[in-house]
Structure 1
Amino acid sequence: MARVVHFELHAADPERAMRFYESVFDWRFSKMPGEGVAYWLISTGEGDGINGGLLPRQGPPPSDGQPVNAYTCTLAVDDIDASMKAGVEAGGSVALPRMTIPGVGYVGYLKDTEGNIFGLHQADHDAK
């Protein structure tokens, strides 16, 4: 079975994207060594989950209002409302508001400062 082991964020402004993810989720970034290399490794924390990379976008960003057209990573959070609020305060926007998945929890989607859409999930087996 093939498992997702790495993700990538594409950004028109990598520094702005790093500030967004550092301020909202406390992710850490480290630049890959090498002359002319524009790639940063992303550490999302300890335990279960995956880490990723950030690189300059090679074309135009996704248009506002277009449907999701790529794999979407979803982040486990303790408080979806607080995380969505922090994302908006850091310059992102709500792509899809919080929704309830009965017996599972809550999910919502944010758009980061670079136009990338990602999901947030708060587990709650009592959700109705």
Structure 2
Amino acid sequence: MITTDPTPGTPCWLDLGAPDVKATAAFYGAVLGWKYEPMEGEGEGAGDSEEMEGGMFQKDGKTVAGLGKLTEEGARSAWMIYFTVDDADAVSRAVERAGGTVRVPTRDLGDWGRMAQFDDPQGGQFAVWQPGKNAGFELADKPGSLSWTELYTSDAAAAKEFYGGVLDWRFGDMEMPSGEGTYTIITPAGQPDERMQGGLMELAKEDLSLAGGRPYWHPVFAVTDCDTAVAAVAKNGGSVQMGPADMEGVGRLAVCLDPSNADFVVLAPAEPATPAAPAKG
């Protein structure tokens, strides 16, 4: 369960770099019911000819994610997931000791907090956030917000060793119901099982073609109705890689691509089981 509590090792923010900010904002507005709030100086007051460069997504008046212009040459459009840490500089050093790479060195974002971005040893990209006045997103585990994170990697054992050391995670393996392999559940160390926040799964490099054979993280967004969300994806220029499909004990989900091929999952969670009424003797 993902929350807005800034516990070290937990997801706290995500943002998307897109080649067309305006079109991407419209897409997620249609699919997830998000309202886009451009940065100051953009939008109608800035003039129709000025291109939008980025801003924040909101759901029910609460900030859920960020959106910016994709500027890195050769980079693909993709969601970047941030995890809360107490000391971003210490994490940067730990990443390098563990064989990872610092993509964006630690920097201050005013009094909001400090951030850094990394590659894990296999090339999977992630980021960290050291909170200042801003702890991250304001809504989680509700329709239209982040409810789970997921890593597809070519080496699950190496991923567990790296992230366990860098972000102090603990892991639990379970067999997939259809016999398709092992799925690893991620929980921050010291937290109860109900604070599980994501999973990782080993795939062959040829199955990681979306990122050129490298591992990649993607977000899972909660929705009220998976089929309705999937229909909106298709209607607004996106596509579906898998689903909709029912996963026992999880819910109904689909793996989707937005119009710029950034991947994400929509999930209508399964209803909690209703306790049986006690037998009358």
Q: Does the TM-score normalized on the shorter chain lie above 0.5? A: yes
**Structure 2 residue ranges without an equivalent (≥5):** 1-7, 43-50, 78-207, 273-281
| Aligned partner (choices 42, 60, 79) of residue 57 of structure 2 | 42
* Whole-angstrom CA distance in 2 between matches of 1:8 and 1:46: 17
User: Cα offset for 1:23?
Assistant: 1.6
1: CA distance between counterparts of 2:52 and 2:230? Answer: 32
Q: Where in structure 2 are the equivalents of 1:13-92 lying within 5 Å?
A: 13-33=20-40, 38-45=53-60, 51-58=64-71, 59-60=73-74, 61=76, 66-67=209-210, 69-92=215-238
Larger displacement relative to structure 2 (15-24 or 29-38): 29-38
8 A contact 2:255–2:263 mirrored in 1: yes
Larger Rg over CA atoms: 2
> CA deviation digits over 1:11-62, x for unaligned, max 9?
1111110111112222011122269993211113367xx6111111123436
Which segments of structure 1 move beyond 4 Å, counting only runs of 4 or more? Answer: 34-37
Comparing 19-28 and 98-107, the one that deviates more? 98-107
Contact 1:5–1:51, Cα closer than 8 Å, also in 2: no
Rate the CA distance shift 1:73–1:45 in 2: closer, same or farther, 3 A.
farther
TM-score normalised to structure 1 length: 0.79
Bigger shift: 2-11 or 26-35?
26-35
C-alpha contact (below 8 Å) 2:55/2:67 kept by paired residues: yes
* Residue number among 2, 7, 21 corresponding to 2:14 in the alignment: 7
CA RMSD of aligned residues (A): 2.6
Alignment match, 2:255: 109
In the aligned structure 2, how far is the partner of 1:66 from the partner of 1:98?
21
* CA distance in structure 2 between the aligned counterparts of 1:40 and 1:125, rounded to whole angstroms: 34
Which 5+ residue runs of structure 1 have no aligned equivalent? none
Q: Which of 1 and 2 has higher RCO (CA within 8 Å, sep 6+)?
A: 1
1:65-112 per-position Cα deviation (integer Å, ceiling 9, x unaligned): 824642211111111111101111011000222232212212211101
Change beyond 3 A, Cα 1:70–1:25: same
Contact 1:12 1:56 in 2 (8 A): yes
2:39/2:56 contact within 8 Å kept: yes
Q: TM-score, normalised by structure 2?
A: 0.39
Task: State how many pairs are aligned.
Answer: 122
Structure 1's 37 and 124: CA in aligned 2 closer, same or farther, altered over 3 A?
closer
In structure 1, distance between residues paired with 2:52 and 2:228: 35
Distance 1:113 1:37, change over 3 A: closer
Match of 2:245 among 94, 99, 114: 99
Identity, in percent, stands at: 21
